[in-house]
Amino acid sequence: MRPPPLAVHRLIERLMADPEARAAFRAAPEPLFEEFAIAADLRPLLVEGSRAALDAIGVHPSMQFKFLIATGRSPVKPSSIRYYLDRV
Amino acid sequence: MGRIVGAFATSHVLMSPDGIEAQAERVFAGMKEIGRRLRAARPDVIVLITSDHLNNFKLDLQVPFIVATASMFTPFGDMGVPKTPFRGYREFAEALIEHAAAHGLDLARAEEARPDHGVAIPVAIVNPNGAIPVVPLYINVAMEPVPAPRRVWALGQALRDTVERHRPAAERVVVLATGGLSHWICMARQGDVNEAFDREVLDRLVRGEGDRLAALTAADILDRAGNGGLEILNWIAMAGAVAGARGETIYYEPIPSWLTGMGGVAMDLGGAA
């Protein structure tokens, strides 16, 4: 069994938590790859960022979803929960 | 002895209404109706059975069952949910942990949790002013193996036993399960909704046949409802807490653009009130 890609998961957690990291990743991902010690063979796959690429790395499906959101590829339309909560 | 005076289940997301305005409005109306009925039951505490989305409990350590024991929670804030604090109920949470152990269910204790949308969206709708304390009870559906349906059914029964045998007289408890229905997250079937299975789940629950759902395997649910649909385990736990009760489907909408089937039920507890 292949071990989970913990470094990639931790990178995704950072991207979800930190808007500046998201912007930095989109502009130039290498410094974050270095910080999280992402293996060289995984970096092109993360730059490609497709679900197929993430699958190839073994990224957990929920973390794939987070990565897609963090990199501007959300599978669902953006929306504001305020549309609903303002009418509760 | 305390009493379970209400039991409900509902999906726990709300997304863009663009292009599906009528469906979105029916879902929202259904969630609000569940909130209206929940508040009408005048609970002293809501036990909210849910699953974390790798926001609190990460892949480094996934525990089958976790009770959040804090006296106050601040939402994680994902999906844009306001970070408005709401009350917990430490005494109840600790009692549940203690007495579930007697049922062979070892519940982990989380002193700190920042409840994500799986808690915070339903709370914002059913408990908008935060008047009712909430005890989040988390079931792992993120990492295999997830708990077997018969085990989460037993968890619901342990919850009921705690309420009825170990809580103060006149304490009024509502059980609210959240999540589901069928959805596939970053799997080949993402965007599919298995309406037939969703309706089977709803029908079983409202006929008082939750035990039939408990007889499924987690693999059955994964196959028919997807990895996100494993949140149906939360619903089965709720059903276990009110075993035999019938209910009513409050809403159901298959919404592929939200990647999920959306549903909600209210159980009829007869003279509970």
pLDDT band at A78 (very low <50, low <70, confident <90, very high): confident
Report pLDDT for A1: 65
Domains of chain B as residue ranges with CATH: 3-272 (3.40.830.10)
Tokens of B249: 């489907």
DSSP of A4-71, one letter per residue?
A: P-HHHHHHHHHHHH-HHHHHHHHH--HHHHHHTT--TTTHHHHHH--HHHHHHHT--HHHHHHHHHHT
Q: What was the ipTM of the complex prediction? A: 0.93
What distance in Å separates residue A56's CA from the closest CA in chain B?
13
B222 in contact with chain A, both atoms CB, cutoff 8 A? no
State what percent of residues in chain B have pLDDT above 90: 97
Nearest beta carbon to residue B185 from set A6, A65, A83: A65
A3 in contact with chain B, both atoms CB, cutoff 8 A? no
Residues of chain B with Cβ-Cβ distance to A62 below 8 Å are: 53-54, 142, 185-186, 227
Identify whether A66 is part of a domain: yes
> Taking CB atoms and an 8 Å cut-off, how many pairs form between chains A and B?
72
Residue B213 has pLDDT above 90, yes or no: yes
Identify whether A10 is part of a domain: yes
| pLDDT mean over B212-221 | 98
| pLDDT mean over B45-49 | 98
Identify whether A1 is part of a domain: no
Identify whether A80 is part of a domain: no
Q: Tell me the longest C-alpha to C-alpha distance in chain B.
A: 51
Residue A2 has pLDDT above 90, yes or no: no
Q: What is chain B's mean pLDDT, rounded? A: 96
Rounded to 10 degrees, the C-alpha dihedral B126/B82/B235/B243 comes to -40
CB B114 within 8 A of CB B155: no
State what percent of residues in chain A have pLDDT above 70: 99
Report pLDDT for A3: 77
Identify whether A86 is part of a domain: no
Residues ≥6 apart with Cβ < 8 Å to B20: B255, B257
| pLDDT mean over B56-82 | 94
pLDDT band at A4 (very low <50, low <70, confident <90, very high): confident
State what percent of residues in chain B have pLDDT above 70: 99
Residue B33 has pLDDT above 80, yes or no: yes
**Domain residue limits at A30:** 6-70
Residue located via tokens 């990565």 = A67
Identify whether A31 is part of a domain: yes
Q: Where are the alpha helices (DSSP H) in B13-89?
A: 21-40
Which of B:44-73 have CB within 8 Å of A? 53-54, 58-60
pLDDT band at B273 (very low <50, low <70, confident <90, very high): very low
Identify whether A83 is part of a domain: no
B10: nearest Cα among B37, B38, B39, B31: B31
| pLDDT mean over A59-86 | 94
What distance in Å separates residue B13's CA from the closest CA in chain A?
9
Q: For A69, phi and psi rounded to 5 degrees?
A: -65, -45
Distances (CA, A) of B271 to A17, A21, B65: 47, 55, 31
Report pLDDT for A79: 85
Sign of CA dihedral B95, B105, B73, B259: negative
Residue B271 has pLDDT above 70, yes or no: no
Beta bridge partner(s), residue B6 = B174
Q: How many structural domains are present in chain A?
A: 1
Report pLDDT for B199: 98
Identify whether A81 is part of a domain: no
Mutate to test the interface with B, among A51, A68, A79 (most CBs of B within 10 A): A79
Mutate to test the interface with B, among A81, A83, A86, A87 (most CBs of B within 10 A): A81
For the stretch B234-251, pLDDT in tens is 999 999 999 999 999 999
Please tell me which residue of chain B has the smallest CA distance to A68.
B186
What distance in Å separates residue B185's CA from the closest CA in chain A?
6
| pLDDT mean over B213-226 | 98
User: Whole-angstrom Cα distance, residue B24 to residue B255?
Assistant: 9
The single-letter DSSP state of residue B100 is H
Residues of chain A with Cβ-Cβ distance to B227 below 8 Å are: 61-62
| pLDDT mean over A46-74 | 96
Distances (CA, A) of B254 to A76, B186, B196, B241, B259: 15, 18, 10, 27, 9
